[in-house]
Structure 1
Amino acid sequence: MDGAPPFVLTLTRDGDQFLAQATGQQQFEIFATSDSTFKLTVVEASMTFHRDADGSVNRVTLHQSDQPATRIVEEGDGPWEPSEAELLAYEGRYFSAEIEAFCAVTVEDGALMMKHRRSGPFKLTAGERDAFSTGTLLGQVEFVRDRGGSVVAFYAGNGRTRDVRFERR
């Protein structure tokens, strides 16, 4: 959704099944209700695909929050693959005053990991530079840098909750 850039909804087809997968979430089936509308069953929502004059689809509206989404075509470049040195820049202890919680970010065996006292460690999967998905309820994590390029915070969000700020300590 354009209002939440780290949120990506990937749409695929497997035989007669149409599938969707939101960033950090499980894949789920979607069902056609017209030639341009699909119903989601995991949440109370639907999607309308908007055709251009040539019949191609480059825009979709998610009818849960009515936020427009711009289609991004994968060019085959693949996701950003940070080096271990780049991952080390994210290491540290972070605190959110809003939810009164600490998270520790570490590099283990070449992977960026996050730990919270209520959950075991989980891997952060790189998307774009400074943006990661968790595959957990935390959803997406986007790190923030200061003018000098140092990582100073991150924002977390999972679609329903957005922009929960964690400051580096």
Structure 2
Amino acid sequence: EETLDAPGGEFDPEAYEPANFERLAGSYSLDPAPNMVARFWREDGTYYGQLTGQPPLEIRPTSPNSFQFLAVAARITFEDGEPAPGVTLFQNGQEIHATRQDAEESEEKWAPDSKELEAFVGRYFSDEVETFYEVVLVHPGEAGRAGSETRVISTNVTLDSDDEGDAEPYLELRQMRMGEMRLTPTEKDTFGVGAITLEFQRDRHGTVSAVYFDVGRSRDVRAERIR
């Protein structure tokens, strides 16, 4: 009978069977923020976890169903099932559940490149809430962006790592009261961060001209692009 306990009764990561990970691997949508997707996979003997549009982070087994992130103070526990129907992230005293996506959902995710993202950069103003919004394109690792990179997975929980790895450029929403928030692409011309959804509108020439915000009970709040 297989044992995963090292001498002394502690879990032995080296004894973890890669075949056991097959039912865990896949993509999971965070329940409180469906636009955020966590993907888990094994490559060259190493296990990884990654949020949409962000660098992969190594994870290590701590039990048959649980893993810990090596670069951040967070851990995950997968549910029983073939395949696992869900996973829960534990960080900063909070628990966030994510539900497995089917193959079609994973394939439908929109992944714009840097040139496509540039189309949304600009300053927007909403008459309805009398607020200015700035959308900027961030290139991780460039001068002036010192410090750790923040991986937002909900409105209150982050995954932080000093290793930027192969981080791709991304859009950031900036507003005086709300601060800086990383936007995650979900579907064509649509982005999300936490419970906020941004759907951009284009004019007849295909140029981005406005954005609609959905924030909880406040829906379709329009902001015009002013530059």
TM-score between both structures, scaled by the size of structure 1? 0.57
Decide which of 102, 109, 116 is 1:73's aligned counterpart.
Answer: 102
Quote the Cα distance in structure 2 between the aligned partners of 1:23 and 1:50.
Answer: 21
1:44 pairs with 2:76 = no
Query: Residue 73 of structure 1: CA displacement?
Result: 2.7
In structure 2, the partner of 1:160 is none
Q: 1:102 aligns with which of 134, 141, 146?
A: 134
Paired-residue identity, %: 34
Correspondence 1:152 to 2:211:
yes
Pairing 1:98-137 to 2, within 5 Å after superposition: 102-103=134-135, 114=137, 122=169, 126-132=185-191
- Asked whether 1:30 is paired with 2:85, we answer no
Aligned residue pairs: how many? 133
Question: Unpaired segments of 5 or more residues in structure 2?
Answer: 1-29, 139-143, 146-168, 172-183, 202-208, 215-220
Shift of 1:46: 0.6
CA distance in structure 2 between the aligned counterparts of 1:66 and 1:103, rounded to whole angstroms: 30
In the alignment, is the contact (CA less than 8 A) between 1:95 and 1:103 conserved in 2? no
From 49, 60, 65, the counterpart of 1:20: 49
Q: Deviations over 1:51-81 (max 9, x none)?
A: 13xx420100011231111011333744348
User: How far did 1:151 drift?
Assistant: 4.5
Residue 144 of structure 1: how far off its partner (Å): 3.4
**CA pair 47-123 structure 1, distance change in 2 beyond 3 A:** closer
Q: Per residue, is there more helix in 1 or in 2?
A: 2
Unaligned runs of 5+ in 1: 105-113, 156-164
Contact 1:20 1:29 in 2 (8 A): yes
Cα distance change on mapping 1:66 and 1:73 into 2, 3 Å? same
Report the TM-score when normalising by structure 2.
0.44
Q: How many Å separate the matches in 1 of 2:210 and 2:132?
A: 20
**Whole-angstrom CA distance in 2 between matches of 1:131 and 1:152:** 9
Cα 1:102–1:90 change in 2 (3 A) is: closer
Following TM superposition, by how much is the alpha carbon of 1:102 offset from its aligned partner in structure 2, in angstroms? 2.4
Cα distance in structure 2, aligned partners of 1:9 and 1:50: 15
Please say if residues 53 and 170 of structure 2, whose CA atoms lie closer than 8 Å, have aligned partners that are also in contact. Answer: no
Deviations 1:18-55 (A, max 9, x none): 11111232111100000000001222111000013xx4
Cα distance change of structure 1 residues 38 and 81 upon mapping to structure 2, 3 Å threshold: closer
Could you say which residue in structure 2 is the equivalent of 1:93? 123
Q: 2: distance between equivalents of 1:61 and 1:123?
A: 26
